Structure 1
């Protein structure tokens, strides 16, 4: 269990989560045997870390404390997080720093494109913090990043994981016009848990966001994910599946919530691998082209391999 102080930034001067600092500790049950990963210590991991740092980039792999960082970085797979390392939201589950972000770095799209080239990525994932302070929520910066990658790495497919652009009129259209191959926006949890888990967001706005992507450009794959173990009921997870299918979402991910610090939302329970397998089976029967459901599933885990499967599934379904 990590502490609430900022241990990621080079010069920590404040808590990563000042809004949580005075909360009582939320204790979670011990991790079961199936929640185990190896410490990152391979040459591939070191090479990826060097390229990320040389280009002055932020990754969600580090900022969110992803358990799969060792595996992914060993394969030179990294999810770039643009628009800074500080989020304007304060979700109860997230380890990304909260506060008032700084100005956008105008050269960042080029830095991301160059890192994509150096890593030799066939498929790149780009996400961001929430930027409620910006008029367009950072939509134009997303679009510039997509275009920069296209120019420097024309063969690379691009997946984006966006914030919800809540109350940012025209923002979504800017991003979709840049034509990412995959548009991912995570619901994170079931609607009944939003007030405690994701209070700054609106469930049905997120559903509508995903639906609008398909209305604007049906060729773009859409994707969304939730965490389980936050107090949801099984029937609520099944309803989320139905809501996503009503929005024509192609790809669903379901993973176990892991508590970043004792000040974050507690893990209410650890969902068994058998339950994840059941969720995956049900989701496929509901019509998703691709489903990834396991304790360590994360939005960007195996993203490149999964994109190839998505393409194959669409080709098969259209015959």
Structure 2
């Protein structure tokens, strides 16, 4: 496939300030993993400059090898029992009001990492009683009893990303299934926790397919949607088929709001945890 040239609107300035430096120091000192770094997020400078970061638990090695993702794949190390407290203490030191937690997939574990998730969220709340939380979870292979371990901790927002439209899911995601992910969203919504999801565009989907995914999410109780441009992490990853224009992102936002989402964050540099603190529903 012919290389698609990156447009000017995707060129960003990292920039640093004292808050960025302090956030980086805390992340490094406590040996934390962040999706900001491993996912090569284009908003790292902005978010770390505001003292916010998305913590990635369960280690830095994922058992899956999705073609869009830059996170290292392979055989993970054993879970670190001290990680929940380290993350909780780091949030306290950063003086965060809102924290986002995500994880690698741990298909190697009997409970797929669900109890580690529950322990981490519970510990964060114990150390930071006034915190609001967003958890971005894997599909836990669709096992309802494992998803329930996370919903039972009652984060303010519980997110699971569809990543792409139905047709492209088998090409882009290594294990996850489209309908499985919808079932995760439905279980979150039925638990009474606010359900959120995110998709990437520029993978070769059509606007009609994006709308179909919106309809599927709405039908399963999703309240918040993020839409961002897919950026190829390395030449080994799935190629960019198109750079979607800011005008089209604005149209997607308008369409999503008309369909009934409470919040739609749509733009070239939007990622699932971008402006996450603004997604809290009153």
Q: Does TM, normalized by the shorter one, top 0.5? A: yes
Aligned residue number for residue 126 of structure 1: 101
**1:91 and 1:199 mapped to 2: Cα distance?**
5
One of 153, 156, 179 as aligned partner of 1:178: 153
Query: CA shift at 1:250, angstroms?
Result: 0.5
Q: Structure 1 segments of 4 or more deviating over 6 A?
A: none
Aligned residue number for residue 136 of structure 2: 161
Q: State how 1:193-272 maps to structure 2 within 5 Å.
A: 193-215=168-190, 217-218=191-192, 220-272=193-245
**TM-score, reference length from structure 2:** 0.98
**TM-score, reference length from structure 1:** 0.87
In structure 2, stretches of 5+ residues that fail to align are: none
Query: CA shift at 1:42, angstroms?
Result: 2.2
**1:123 and 1:163 mapped to 2: Cα distance?**
20
Residue 276 (structure 2) pairs with residue 303 (structure 1)? yes
SS of the counterpart of 1:241? Answer: helix
Q: Is the 8 A contact 2:58 2:80 kept in 1?
A: yes
Q: Is the 8 A contact 1:137 1:168 kept in 2?
A: no
1:114-146: CA deviations, max 9, x gaps? 000000110000000011111111111111111
Q: Is the 8 A contact 2:142 2:180 kept in 1?
A: no
**Greater displacement, 36-45 / 96-105:** 36-45
Q: Is the 8 A contact 1:136 1:169 kept in 2?
A: no
Q: State how 1:285-296 maps to structure 2 within 5 Å.
A: 285-296=258-269
1:51-89: CA deviations, max 9, x gaps? 011111100000000000000000010000000000011
Aligned residue number for residue 281 of structure 1: 254
**2:175 and 2:149 mapped to 1: Cα distance?**
22
**1:96 and 1:194 mapped to 2: Cα distance?**
18
Q: Is the 8 A contact 1:113 1:148 kept in 2?
A: yes
RMSD: 1.1
**1:178 and 1:41 mapped to 2: Cα distance?**
35
**1:297 and 1:27 mapped to 2: Cα distance?**
25
Give the number of equivalent residue pairs.
282
**1:129 and 1:301 mapped to 2: Cα distance?**
19
